[in-house]
Structure 1
Amino acid sequence: MEAKAIARNIRISPQKARLVADCVRGKPVDEALNTLSSLPKKGARIIKKVLESALANADQNPNIDVDSLYIKRIYVDKGPILKRWKPRAMGRAYGIRHRLSHITIVLDEA
C-alpha cells in the first residue's frame, strides 16, 4: 500500500528543492525526518512538511504499518513562473523570474 502527498506552487526553485530531495530519497521515514530537521536549507523545511502530510495520509489507512514506511519516490517538478520587473538605470527594466515548484512524495511499506 502506498501513501502520497503533493504540494503545488511552492515558492522555491526546483533546482534548490531537488538538492534536499536527493538527500532523503529511499530512506525510512523516521531517518528522513531527522535528516530534514538538521539541514539548514529552506527546502528542508518545506519537504519536511510534505513528508509529514504523506505520513498523516498513511496513518488514515488501517492496512498500512506506519513504522515500516520508507520514501519510495520523491520528485520536484517545475511549476509556473511569476514574472516581475525591476527598474534599472536610464529607463530600462530588468526581468525577475520567481520560480515555483510542485513537490510529490510517495511512501511505501518496506
Structure 2
Amino acid sequence: MEAKATLNYTRISPRKVGLVLDLIRNKPVDLAAAILKHTPKAACEDLEKLLKSAVANAENNFNMDKSSLYVSQCYVTPGPILKRVRPSSHGRAFRVLKRTSHITIVVKEKE
C-alpha cells in the first residue's frame, strides 16, 4: 500500500526542488521531516507541508502506521512557464521565465 500527495503549480523552479527531494528520497518519514526542517532552501517549506499531507493520507485513508512509513518515491515535473518582460536600455526588452513545478511525494510502509 502506498499513499500519495501532490502539489501543483508551485512557483519555484523544478531544478531547485529536485535538489531537496534528493535529500529525502528513501528515508523514514520522521528523518525526512527533520531534514526538511533544518535545510535552508526555499523549497523546504512547501515540501514539509506536502510530506505531512502524504503522511496524513496514509494514516486516515489507508490505516497505515506512521512509525513504519518511508518516502518511497518523490519527484518533480516542470509546470507551465510564466513569460514576463523586463525593460532594458535603448528601448529593448528581455524575457524573464518564471518557472513552476508539479511535486509528488509517495510514502509506503516497510515490510
TM-score tier, shorter chain, comes to over 0.9
Matches within 5 A, 1:74-85: 74-85=74-85
The equivalent of 1:44 in structure 2 is 44
Q: Kindly tell me: are residues 101 and 89 of structure 1, through their superposed partners in 2, closer, same or farther at Cα, counting changes over 3 Å?
A: same
Q: Which amino acid aligns with 2:29?
A: V
Q: Residues 22-63 of structure 1: CA distance to partner in whole angstroms, max 9, x if unpaired? A: 000000000000010000111111111110110111111353
- More strand as a share of residues: 1
Q: Distance in 1 between matches of 2:61 and 2:17?
A: 28
1:21 aligns with 2:21: yes
1:4 aligns with 2:8: no
Q: Residues 40-94 of structure 1: CA distance to partner in whole angstroms, max 9, x if unpaired? A: 1111111111101101111113531121000000001110000000110011111
The equivalent of 2:60 in structure 1 is 60
RMSD, matched Cα: 0.8
How many residue pairs match? The answer is 110
Q: Residues 5-36 of structure 1: CA distance to partner in whole angstroms, max 9, x if unpaired? A: 00000010000000000000000000000010
- SS of match in other structure, 2:17: helix
Q: Which consecutive segments of 4 or more residues in structure 1 shift more than 3 A?
A: none
Gaps of 5+ in 1: none
Q: Report % sequence identity.
A: 50
The equivalent of 2:94 in structure 1 is 94
